Amino acid sequence: MRYLPLTPADRASMLRRVGVAGIDDLFADIPRDKLLREPLDLPRGKPEPEVARLLGAMAGKNVAASSVPFFAGCGAYKHHVPASVDHLIQRSEFLTSYTPYQPEIAQGTLQYLFEFQTQVASLTAMEVANASMYDGSTGTAEAVLMAHRLTKRRKAVLSGGLHPHYADVARTVSRMARDELTILPPDPRAGEDIVAHIDANTSCVVVQTPDFFGNLRDLSKIAEACHAHGALLVAVFTEAVSLGLVAPPGDMGADIVAGEGQSFGNELNFGGPHVGLFATRQKFVRQIPGRLSGETIDAGGRRGYVLTLSAREQHIRREKATSNICTNSGLCALAFSIHLTLLGETGLKRLARVNHANAVKLADMLARVPGVEVLNDAFFNEFTVRVKGDAAEVVEKLAARGVIGGVPVSRLLPGAGLDDLLVVASTEVNTDEDREALANGLRGIN
């Protein structure tokens, strides 16, 4: 009981104080099918060397993304990250720094956050960006809450092309806040009439481009419809590299932009950590979640940096805080900023063009495979194909041939009747040989 100092009487007293009958009542909001019915089938304890051997053997079953032709995307992308990025973020002044509460000793941290914000604002064509979020999904949920605060309305309309994980996070937040959420059906061909769902009670419309299925969306008309009804347009993206080639959300009338920045400086890392990007209009800055780093001049006339805005629940605003997000992904944001700085504007545009060209090559190749249909009319570096039979089974067969062939839609949208759809991404790391391996694999399976 060394680490469990509370007695049964102590726990019973605490439960009475919060008004519940037992421990299980504290987990009432968790779906019953997500709760363990019994303890995990794990040994109670083993010596450290044996644990290391067991875990090493388990890790050895994984297939590294760089070891085989790899075409998985759907919100996490395989890009080349320069070795200099990892070298720089491991410098002690970056790796050991954390929260920039004290500007007099955190000038380096505040400066790179300021530069990061500048880059995000420039990429998205927005006026102001914050010092990052956890990831794109939580950034999207925060954007919906921000729209509710600004419009004094409680209804959000989500496109059927929004990444399912992002929709799930927004759904969870909305359920807890008792907000209204309209999520349109999955839309592989981007043919939905989302404007028809906007009314006088709508606070925001959330649309992703490129969307979950890879479709590029022109948001201009949607933005006009939103503004005509007094609603806000929340533009979402999962592939930040696309902003080097396609029209940025700000130029299409977006009011709030949320997205994922993993593509710059951050490896796949088994799904995280990632870095959420968040930007908006200057007039909405007081409602932005998280932190905002600003530039100023000290008493000696020298340039300096401060936390201009930090309206979190831990600070003086308490329950009036705009967000309960507890930190930003500082080291991931730094990696993002270093990578983007190394690329520069010219390098970013060239990288984006290479991504698009590679995806076009792959789409043309797959379109010639019998039984494979490319669904997209326009895309960046990711698109959806229809295959014969179950796409999840096709992916397993491709994996047996040494090719990670994409993400079956059924994995993220089970029960949606889209079991024959496969989302495929081709970035700058894919070679002609990789693309041929996928095409030949599909040809052999079909």
pLDDT per position as a tens digit, 179-202 = 999 999 999 999 999 999 999 999
Which residues lie below 8 Å from residue 276, measured CB to CB, with a gap of 6+? Answer: 132, 133, 134, 135, 136, 137, 138, 139, 258, 259, 260, 261, 329
Residues 183 and 328 in one domain: yes
Does residue 318 carry a pLDDT above 70?
Answer: no
**Torsion sign, CA atoms 203, 326, 105, 339:** negative
Residue 135 lies in a domain: yes
Q: Give per-residue pLDDT as tens, 361-388.
A: 999 999 999 999 999 999 999 999 999 9
pLDDT score at 55: 92
Residue 14 lies in a domain: no
Share of residues in the chain with pLDDT > 70 (%): 96
pLDDT score at 314: 54
Rounded to whole angstroms, the Cα distance separating 84 from 90 reads: 10
Residues 328 and 378 in one domain: no
Residues 90 and 149 in one domain: yes
DSSP class of 186: P
Residues 308 and 372 in one domain: no
Query: Does the global pTM surpass 0.85?
Result: yes
Q: Give per-residue pLDDT as tens, 143-175.
A: 999 999 999 999 999 999 999 999 999 999 999
- The token duo for 259 is 């997205």
Rounded to whole angstroms, the Cα distance separating 88 from 80 reads: 16
Q: Give per-residue pLDDT as tens, 45-61.
A: 889 999 999 999 999 99
Cβ proximity of 427 and 69 under 8 Å: no
Rounded to whole angstroms, the Cα distance separating 379 from 361 reads: 12
Rounded to whole angstroms, the Cα distance separating 142 from 254 reads: 15
Share of residues in the chain with pLDDT > 90 (%): 79
Residues 352 and 331 in one domain: no
Of 217, 183, 164, 245, nearest to 427 by C-alpha is 245
Q: How many CA atoms, within 13 angstroms, populate the side-chain half-sphere of residue 256?
A: 32
The residue from 298, 324, 339 where one domain ends is 339
Residue-wise DSSP of 302-345:
-EEEEEEEE-BTTSTTGGG-SB------HHHHHHHHHHHHHHHH
Domain range enclosing 428:
345-445
The residue from 310, 339, 368 where one domain ends is 339
Residue 58 lies in a domain: no
Rounded to whole angstroms, the Cα distance separating 195 from 217 reads: 13
Q: Quick one: 32 exposed, middle or buried, by C-beta within 10 A (0-12, 13-18, 19+)?
A: exposed
The residue from 283, 310, 339 where one domain ends is 339
Residue 179 lies in a domain: yes
- The token duo for 224 is 């006009």
Residues 313 and 356 in one domain: no
Q: Give per-residue pLDDT as tens, 383-416.
A: 999 999 999 999 999 999 999 999 999 999 999 9
Rounded to whole angstroms, the Cα distance separating 26 from 7 reads: 18
Of 216, 279, 212, 278, nearest to 242 by C-alpha is 216
Residue 50 lies in a domain: no
Does residue 37 carry a pLDDT above 90?
Answer: no
Number of domains into which the chain is organized: 2
Pick the residue with more confidence: 246 or 30? 246
Residues 369 and 274 in one domain: no
pLDDT score at 309: 83
- The token duo for 352 is 């984006």
- The token duo for 192 is 């939905």
Residue 310 lies in a domain: yes
Cβ proximity of 173 and 196 under 8 Å: no
Does residue 176 carry a pLDDT above 90?
Answer: no
- The token duo for 24 is 């299980």
Does residue 312 carry a pLDDT above 60?
Answer: no
Lowest-pLDDT range of 100-104, 164-168, 310-314, 414-418: 310-314
Does residue 270 carry a pLDDT above 90?
Answer: no
CATH at 186: 3.40.640.10
CB atoms within 10 A of CB 204: 26
Does residue 1 carry a pLDDT above 60?
Answer: no
Residue 423's pLDDT band (cuts 50, 70, 90): very high
Residue 57 lies in a domain: no
Residue 31 dihedral angles phi and psi, to the nearest 5°? -55, 140
pLDDT score at 433: 97
Residue 203 dihedral angles phi and psi, to the nearest 5°? -90, -35
How many whole angstroms from its chain centre is CA 62? 23
Residues 87 and 176 in one domain: yes
Mean pLDDT in residue range 326-344: 90
Residue 386 lies in a domain: yes
Residues 299 and 161 in one domain: yes
- The token duo for 301 is 């006339």
